[in-house]
Amino acid sequence: MRTLKPFFILTLLFSFTTIFQSCYQDAKAVNNNEIKVENFKWHSINDLATLQQKNPKKVLIDIYTDWCKWCKVMDEQTFGDEALRNYLKEEFYLIKLNAEDKNAIQFKGKEYKFVASGRRGYNTLAAELLEGKMAYPSLVVLDKELNILDVMKGFKDATTLKKDLSKLPL
């Protein structure tokens, strides 16, 4: 029994060290805010009114958080797919929205603010677009008049996302 106790403690210590290192690497990658997709422009929600005035299009809003691992996987894998990127650039304005953005956001004549809640809080625009059901990653599709056509929650691979988007009304 005495020989098992040090072994158990060392195993726990090793486990905690490994988990901490993994979390540190994820946080380090998040803080760089790098999206490894070349030639793919994401707009700010603040640019949307100007873009729609020039050339109205449907809008795809990618709602994410800095800590969301599956959001990063979608950025690299799903939005890294060249065929999907070409389709999206042609059909949509692409918006990135951090659900935990602390800055006030103007959208459709209304101001949305940050609400401190739980461990991190949220921006009320993300909550409204997601109908209060906060899940990441989430994609919100808007028509040319900025009305919600669809809300897609969770990871989508490129094939599934293109199929789901092509089913939406023009």
For the chain, the helix, strand and coil percentages under 3-state DSSP, each to the nearest 5: 45, 20, 35
pLDDT of residue 29: 40
Interatomic CA distance for residues 53 and 98, integer angstroms: 24
pTM for this predicted structure? 0.76
What is the bridge-based pairing of β-strands 105-107 and 110-112?
antiparallel
Distance CA 65, CA 33 (A): 11
pLDDT score at 78? 96
For position 40, what pLDDT does the model report?
76
- The pLDDT assigned to 34 comes to 38
3-state SS class at 21: helix
Residue tagged 């873009």 (tokens): 51
Cβ atoms of 148 and 140 closer than 8 Å:
yes
Query: What phi and psi values does residue 153 have, to the nearest 5 degrees?
Result: -110, 140
Rounded to 5°, angle at Cα 135 from 129 and 141: 40
Give the pLDDT of residue 35. 38
DSSP β-bridge partners for residue 148: 142
pLDDT at 9: 63
Query: Residues of the chain whose pLDDT is less than 50?
Result: 16-37
Residue 27's pLDDT is what?
41
In three-state secondary structure terms, 73 is: helix
Q: Quick check: helix, strand or coil at residue 82?
A: helix
